[in-house]
Every structure is written in structure tokens, then in C-alpha cells.
Amino acid sequence: MAVMAEPVAAQVKRSSLWSRAFESRNFLGAMFMVPAIAILILFLAYPLALGFWLGMTDTKIGGVGRYIGFQNFVSLSKDSVFWLSVFNTIFYTVFASIVKFAIGLYLALLLNERLPFKSMLRAIVLLPFVVPTVLSAIAFWWIYDSQFSIISWVLIKAGLLTHYIDFLGDPWNARWSVVLANIWRGVPFVAITLLAGLQTISPSLYEAANLDGATNMQRFRHITLPMLSPIIAVVMTFSVLMTFTDFQLIYTITRGGPINATHLMATLSFQRAITGGNLGEGAAISNAMIPFLVAAILLSFFGLQRSRWQQGGRD
Amino acid sequence: MSDFDRRSVLKAGLGGAALLAGPGIVPVRAAEWTNTPEPNASIRVLRWKQFIQAEFDKFAEQTKKFSEKTGIKVKLEAESWEDIRPKAAVAANVGAGPDLIVGTLDDPFKFPEKLIDVTDVADYLGKQYGGWYPVAERYGKKGNNWIAIPQGATGGCLNYRISHVKAAGFEEFPKDTAGFLKLCQALKKNNTPAGFALGHATGDANGWCQWALWAFGGKVVNDKNEVVLDAPETIAALEYVKQLYATFIPGVLSWNDSNNNKAFLNGELSLTLNGISIWTVGKNSPDPKQQEIAKDMNHAPMPIGPVGVPTEQQNVLVYYGYKHSKYPKAVKEYIKFMMDKENYDAWEVASNGYVSPPLPAYNDNPVWTSDPKITPYRDCLKRCRDNGYAGDLGYASAAVMGDFVVVDMFAEAASGQATPQEAAKRAAERAKRYYQV
């Protein structure tokens, strides 16, 4: 009996330890965090780490790669198509993001005013965001078609042109064309989010400014813009990230052509990894996007810090 | 008598039989097929999406017939053949997904160790029907074993408007590259231009650009897999295409695989490279204008260049089964059934000659002579080279094609974005990155 009593006592001791642990706020808090941490590790950290690892290997489709260090990056540094895709990505992101912001802000300000049919107008603004990307890409592909473009057709019928515009067959035309498609697609996100931000600004601030005799421009510059800056920082971070990593629009409209003039890093990564079978190099191209994306996030982070300071908080 | 021993008599006999079997007159001998599919087998088949509805319907009907006959359940799915490649790659990588894929070109050579050995199916079909076209064998065989069974090719021929070619001064379609250039120039002069895809169009752009490269003696690699693209032969091909490009309808730099179909059936194009689908769609269209275009259409093989032999590149279709399948024997049974002449012939008739056969014995199908406009598609695999020429099929050949190295080279030189010399040099550098591995 004495032999049996000892393990039972140990069990009771362990059980009480376990029970006591659950009475601790810190332990309980940590336990509640476990599922969230597990999800983050499984679905965010692991794929990212795997991407890093693949970029350092010569993995081919269906094969097991071996570690080759930075060889993929060295090889890419000598690859003219890769550098062209870097240029295209930056060009695409900068121009599309700036225009999306300008149009989005304008629409947000407009929709924040007292307008007739305001709800309907807001719904219309959201439409491009509602349509699946691939569908809108196919629509643009037709709009830009070298033989059947509605734009060229209208301009020719109006007597303004004699030839169809080669939207996608000329490198620079193609770049601007895909930028325009991205702007159309991305404006609603910017507009609606900024509109939400505008509606959080207290009307009393504008009333006080009116009493002080502020002009519209002064009200915009000294009230709207500073109050909106945290939202702008968030919106522009997301807008830049989504534009920089865009894939569907380009892949559907041009597949990176003509002569790689519209290849973004994301589309080139797919082409090299999946179509070309070189997973390692494809992953390396994706990894090469990370410094740019981190820079965009840091920019937004510091922007947010600054806006907190503007609102009287501590940095 | 010593000159006629048993061995030489046997050789002569087999040779004669092979000659007869070549045009599909008789099989060499009835081959044996011994395969017992797993009990209660069920397989998932992913194939290329149809361009001709009747073709897919017949394929599905044959599949149903197979299930009824063997008791093997088959789930048939279709994807655009551009989209099969990533799915096939993912299936190979993760070891799950379809049991069998009917995909394209040298995809199986990217992951050969993941695939079922189908040597017995290939041997059976080869022996039963008198042998494969050499290019079909290249697309199926790795080393001594077969990793894929060629289904045929969505044959590409020149599609042209008979009246426009005649108006350009050509009673017969030119058979050489010099005459072909003259024809394109005359078509342009008559404002009835030619147009060939120069965008990232996997089928059409690769098809005619590889033809042009090979027609002038150029090649990406030699038989030792050394990149030899930056060569005078390549420059000659680029100079030639530059002259051709000047005669094309505007916009070809942006064309993908569907643009030429649309432009042709809209009456804006007189000459292009395509499968038989333009004609079939036009013929069956309710639109009288498209019917008229189909009546005025004919097809021709790609012209022969200075090398003096046909140098076509065709979109070869291949069956390949995965080792991750629980029912590899059922997979092989299915391939064998679908490739058996009786079933293949019926499917070919339904597709109106859309797929050029990989076995010469299948050339006797009446569909090929039912209309002379169909006949040029029959021999596509006879005139075709594999896309790894003159080296091996494998990761590098697939990557060079997947990365559009040759197409971009022609597009750069043709559009004046680079001189032919610069374009060839840049393309050679790109190709070397793949062939160095």
C-alpha cells in the first residue's frame, strides 16, 4: 500500500500545481495567446521562412533542392529581365499609388459633402472593388485590344484617329495601360477608407474655423489633412503593398509582355518558379521584394508616430 | 547461303513490316497487354480545356465507356492548358492532386522521378501500331524508360485566305522562307496583312519563333546542351523575321494565343499560324461573314528554310501519371484505352482533326482526307522537332520556353528594341542561366 500511496500523492501535487497555474493571470493570458501564436507561426511565419529557405536553394519543381547560399541573388543581379521587372514594379507602384491617392482623396471629399443620391454614388464608387480582379482584367484586356479596342473604335469613329492605338504592343503604352487599370481597380479602396476617416473629424472643428474666417483651402490644410493623416498612412501603406505585389491584373492582361515591359517582380517570380520550374529562383525574386515592402511599412510606421505626436500624444 | 543467316532474314522481315506499318497499313504484330488494374480503383484526370466542344464531349464519352467496361471510376476535369502547368507542378511538389494529367510539351521532364513508368503502355502501343514518330518518342522517353505517353499535338499550320494569297500573286502557297517573305510583303502591299503572335503566347509565339530559328540553322543548344544561340545562324533568322515583322498587322507584340483567332475571323488577317480551330469555328459559326471566311481559308505547313528540312515546333500533348496515385495500374489502363486506335479514331473524327496523331498508323483515319483543308494537320508530328532541340528535353528546355527567351529575342530584334546581334547575345545569356544548372 505504501508503494501505491506515493504516486497518488505526486499526482495530487502535480494536479494542484496545474490548478494553481490556471489561477495565475499571466499563465492564463499566455495560454489564451497560444492558439493565436500557433496560427501566426503556421500560416505566416512558416511560409515566410520557407520562402527565405527556398530562395537560398536550387530547388526545382518536384525536386529537393540543396543549399546554395546567395547564388540565386548573384545570378539575378546579372539578369537584365530581373532588373527590368524591378524598374517596372517601382514605376507601376509609384505612379499608380500617387494617382489612386489623388483621385481617392478627391472622391472621398466629394462624397463627404451633402450630395443628392449620395448612397448610390458611394455604391458606384465601390463597384470596381467589388468586381473580381480577373474579370476587370479581362475587361481591360478587351478595352486595350489591338484590333477591337472600344477606345480606338470611338476615337476613329469621332474622326480623331486614323489608326487603332497599340495599347499593349508598345512597351511604354503597355506600362501606362496597366497602371491605368490598376488605378481604376484601386481607387475605391482609397476613397472609401478616406471617407470613413473624414467622417470621424468633428464638425465643431470646421465650425470654429469658419468663425475664424478660414478659407476652404485653409480648412483642408489645417484641419482635414492633419486629422486624416493617420488614415492616409494606413491607406497608403496598404495601397503601396497591394500595388507592389500585384499579379492578377498583369498576368491576365499582358503576361509580362511585350518584351517583358510589364513584368512585375511578382509575375516574374511566378514565371520563373512555376512555368519555368525553378522554385529557388522564383522564391529569390519574391524575397527581393521584401526590402521594398519593409521600407513602405517603415515609412507608414513613422508617419503614424508623427500623427500621434500631432494629436498631442507622446512619440 | 552464308549471306542469308537467320538473323538477317529476321531483320529484313521486321524492316519490311515496319515499312508497311509506317503508313498504317498493318500492325507489326499484335502486341500483348497484361495489366490488372487495382480493384475498386478511382482516378482523377486533369486535361487541357477544349477549343472544339465536340472533341471534349467525345473524350468524356470515351471516358464513360472506359468506366463502364473496367469498373474504374474516372473524375474528368479540364483546365486551360496554360493553367495545367502550374497545377502539374504543384501536384508533383506536394505529392497530391490528379492521378493523371494530359498536359503539354516537356513538363513531365521537369519532375520525371515523380511519374509512373509507362514503358509498358508505350511498348504496347508502339508494337501494336507500328512505332511512334521519333519526336513523339522524344517527348515520352527519358533514358530507356517512358515517363509520358504522347497524345498528339494541337497541330499548328499556316492559316491563310485563299483569295488574298491569289490576289498577292501566288497561285500556290510558297514552300520556302524566301517565297513566304515575298508573300507577306505582297499581302501587306494589298492591305491584307499577315500577323504572327510576338507576345507571351505559349503556343503561337513559341511555335513560329522556334520554326524561324531552326529554319535558318539556329538553335538554343547543341547536342551537348551547350548554349549556341549567339551565332550567325540566329542573326540570319532574326534579320529574316525583322523583314517579316514589317509586313505584320500592328499589335502583334501584345498578342497572346487567342488574338490571331479573333482577328482572322473578323476579316482583319490573311495569314497566321494556328490550329485548325479558326476554320472549324468559322465553318460552324451562325455568322455568315465567318462562314464566308472559312470557305475562303486553307492551311499549309510552315515553309522550309535554308536548312532544307521542315523545322516546325508543335504543341505536343502528353499523358503523365503520378507516382502518388493509389491506382497506377488503373492510370495505365486508362491511357491505353484512350490511345487504342478504335477509340482514338472516333475521338479524332469528333475533333475534326484537331490533334495530330503521334503514331503514323493513325494517319489512315478518314477525317484527314475528308476535306483537303484538314490534311496538312495530319503530319504535324512528322515535320516537328522537340523544343529542346538539339539538346535534351528537361528542366532547362522547359524553362527557356517558359521564360519566353526565344520569343523575347525575336520580339526585341523585330521591333527594333535591340539589334539582332544584341538580341541574340542577351537571349544567349538568359539561356545560359538555365543550362548552367
Angle at B408 between CA B158 and CA B186, to 5 degrees: 40
Report pLDDT for A300: 74
Contact A169 B251 (CB under 8 A): yes
Contact: A166, B430; criterion CB under 8 Å: no
Looking at CA atoms only, how far is residue A155 from chain B in angstroms?
A: 17
CB contact under 8 A, A163 and B250: yes
Burial of A291 (0-12, 13-18, 19+ CB in 10 A): exposed
Per-residue pLDDT at A15: 66
Q: Please state, in angstroms and rounded to a whole number, the distance separating the CA atoms of residues A302 and B3.
A: 93
Nearest to B395 among A271, A272, A277 (CB): A277
Residues 6+ apart with CB under 8 A from B161: B192, B270, B271, B293, B296, B297
Q: In terms of Cα–Cα distance, which of B25, B29, B36, B18 is closest to B336?
A: B36
Tell me the C-alpha distance between A256 and A268, whole Å. 8
Using only C-alpha atoms, chain B has a radius of gyration, in whole angstroms, of 22
Q: Tell me whether residues A147 and B93 touch, CB distance under 8 A.
A: no
Res. A13 pLDDT band, cuts 50 70 90: low
Average confidence score pLDDT of chain A: 88
CA within 13 Å, CB half, A8:
5
**What is d(CA B263, CA B285) in angstroms, rounded to the nearest whole number?**
15
Question: Apex CA B175: angle with CA B174 and CA B180, to 5°?
Answer: 50
- As a whole number, mean pLDDT of residues B93-120 equals 93
Report the interhelical angle of A46-55 vs A279-310 (nearest 10°): 130
* pTM across the whole model: 0.86
Q: What is the pLDDT of residue A304?
A: 61
pLDDT tens track for B196-220: 999 998 889 999 999 999 999 999 9
Section B238-262 average pLDDT:
95
Model confidence pLDDT, tens digit, residues A267-305: 999 999 988 888 999 999 999 999 999 988 887 777 666
Q: Above 60 in pLDDT, residue B61?
A: yes
Closest CA of chain B from A114, distance in Å: 45
User: Which residues of B touch chain A, with CB atoms under 8 Å apart?
Assistant: 85-86, 89-90, 92-93, 110-111, 113-114, 198-200, 249-256, 259, 262-263, 266, 268, 395, 398-399, 402-404, 408, 411-412, 415, 417, 426, 429-430, 433-434, 437
**Nearest-CA neighbor of B200 among A168, A2, A198, A189?**
A168
Cα–Cα distance list, A86 to A280, A281, A285, A286 (Å): 18, 15, 10, 11
The complex's ipTM works out to 0.82
pLDDT of residue B26: 45
CA distances from B370 to A58, B293, B295, B301, B307 (A): 51, 19, 15, 18, 33
> How far away is chain A from the Cα of B89, in angstroms, using its nearest Cα?
6
- pLDDT exceeds 60 at position B24: no
Strands B100-104 and B42-48: parallel
**pLDDT tier at A14, thresholds 50, 70, 90:** low
Q: What pLDDT was estimated at residue A128?
A: 87
Contacts of B67 (CB under 8 A, 6+ apart): B73, B74
For B84, the closest chain A residue by CA position comes to A275
SS (H, E, C) chain B: CCCCCHHHHHHHHHHHHHHHHCCCCCCCCCCCCCCCCCCCCEEEEEEECCCCHHHHHHHHHHHHHHHHHHCCEEEEEEECHHHHHHHHHHHHHHCCCCCEEEEECCHHHHCHHHECCCHHHHHHHHHHHCCCCHHHHHHHEECCEECCEEEEEECCEEEEEHHHHHHCCCCCCCCEHHHHHHHHHHHHHCCCCECCCCCCCCCHHHHHHHHHHHHCCCCCECCCCCECCCCHHHHHHHHHHHHHHCCECCCHHHCCCCHHHHHHHCCCCCEEEECCHHHHHHHHCCCHHHHHHHHCEEEECCCECCCCCCCEECCEEEEEEECCCCCHHHHHHHHHHHHCHHHHHHHHHHCCCCEECCCHHHHHCCHHHHCCCCHHHHCCCCCEECCCCCCCCCHHHHHHHHCCHHHHHHHHHHHCCCCHHHHHHHHHHHHHHHHCC
Cα distance from A48 to chain B (closest Cα, Å)?
18
Choice between A128 and B177, residue whose per-residue pLDDT is larger: B177
Q: Name chain A contacts of B403, Cβ cutoff 8 Å.
A: 81, 271-272, 275-276
Enumerate the residues of chain B whose CB falls inside 8 A of the CB of residue A254.
Answer: 199-200, 254
pLDDT greater than 50 at residue B4: no
- pLDDT score, position B25: 45
pLDDT for residue A120: 86
* pLDDT the model gives residue B15: 42
8-state DSSP, A211:
H
Residues B416-437 have a mean pLDDT of 92
Q: Is A274 in contact with B398 (CB distance < 8 Å)? A: no
pLDDT band at A255 (very low <50, low <70, confident <90, very high): very high
Q: Which residues of A touch B430 (CB under 8 A)?
A: 79-81
The residue among A306, A309, A196, A295 whose CA lies nearest residue A237 is: A295
Segment B277-290 mean pLDDT? 94
Amino acid identity for residue A186 in this structure: G
The reported pLDDT for the residue numbered A11 is 60
Q: Per the CB < 8 Å rule, is B111 touching A272?
A: no
Q: What percent of chain B has pLDDT over 90?
A: 83
Give the gap in angstroms from C-alpha A80 to the nearest C-alpha of chain B.
8
Query: CB of B273 within 8 A of CB of B208?
Result: yes
Q: If pLDDT is split at 50, 70 and 90, which confidence band does B230 have?
A: very high
Compute the Cα dihedral for A134, A135, A138, A140 and give only its sign. negative
d(CA A52, CA A71) in angstroms, rounded, equals 13
Interface residues on A facing B, Cβ-Cβ cutoff 8 A? 58, 60-63, 75, 78-81, 144-148, 163-164, 166-171, 174, 254-260, 270-272, 274-279
pLDDT at B253 > cutoff 60: yes
Residue in chain B closest to A164 (alpha carbons) equals B250
Closest-CA residue to B154 (of B7, B22, B55, B38):
B55
- Pairwise CA distance, residues A95 & B172, whole Å: 53
Confidence of residue B12 (pLDDT cuts 50, 70, 90): very low
